[in-house]
Structure 1
């Protein structure tokens, strides 16, 4: 079974997902006019999923920010920076965006909070979740919580931070109930589509974790606060920017998000990726 399109498509051979998504990923956070989020989600899930994937990008996940009712967060992926330019040019210069851009833009105050990312190590990109994307017209929320944690660094994240995360931090995340989905660092290439700004001069390490529900995330967060191993792992992490706390986004998937909670959805990760516990 083949799921998705473009650089995020992977194959399920019956024993697990083969491949990861994607070499280049945008983490996009939109500040919206009060009370307009559901309007944008309805428009996005109806008009902007298949149409973006048709021109060579992957819509990985769409989310409600649980801590800000006027924020919409989503992820899209690309094969490389050159194809990113081509795909974005095709979409934003095409008929679908021309038809719906006024309605979309009317919901937004700010769409420039964008991090351009690449996998932190081989195999650390998103595995496509088990099952097909729900069809257009799907409503509600499939449940589950995705936590995006953004640590700011005082230098580009090298192999040292990635190795430290894998050896010292990820085991603690797993032991406290997190299903680690993916880990990324800043993509340092020049923005190849100037029409859409990104946060420049940022050095970040970002990981995404999956939880069954907000209560499961709450138990995990409380366990991390009590964990000596976690405290020692953070204090020993190389290149963390002093005085700048991490950003933590608690995200609820929309009805058509590819990333959504399923028990043991990620039980078989691609070769080279670390294994974590099941969804708590």
Structure 2
């Protein structure tokens, strides 16, 4: 039996979003954008945006919601969706499901566990997931890649691409990611050429979405795989629940526990400043602000989500 969607008081939501935007506007000198990746360090740090897509089909937005940003590691959720739909629990033979106590780009844990990444949302885990996606049979029946998946769920064919992140030969993602990919391959947990895996990885990280588009993209996670945009072979109820569980425990890197304590929602962040959060059976929420904390998560975005869940009573913990 399908779960019953939770109706949203639209007037209350609009008031909450307006008040949150007003509060974010008065916060100054809150940090800096990521400067370890080309194209991110020069973004204006006073930007803020929020969009809430409700299970009723409404969109409520505020701030710079039409400004595109690179989704970066949020793409890992969509790549994992493709991998799980194709192979199911076979994926977990090559990637773990536990939170990591190390930074998202640490290579130490990968060596400690002989090429098996701790979870799919840290960089080595995402690289193995990309390798799995590359290995799908030609008749897998799903979307070709993350971009195609997002085009379907957003309902638009003109998604952007931050060219500074990726060059045509795919070599701008950094030596550290290649080191992790090579280490995984040394332990026989990467089956394709490292450069092929890197190309797929940096291409999906470079996809640009607005807050509105990101909230639309996450709708399949909020209510049993249903997104209101037509049937999709890559999503179902069981899969969306599994993804939400992983987002809750691992989606904010080494800040996942703090995020669960403050916000209480499954979510995935990216160093481009975006966060996709899911209020199960209720809403898909996208926030964006490029200033980051020490774990690589958006500072204002986290604060805004904490205020939103408090105002709306959306924490999964009651």
Q: TM-score range by the shorter chain?
A: under 0.3
Higher share in strand: 1
- Normalised by the size of structure 2, how large is the TM-score? 0.24
- Normalised by the size of structure 1, how large is the TM-score? 0.26
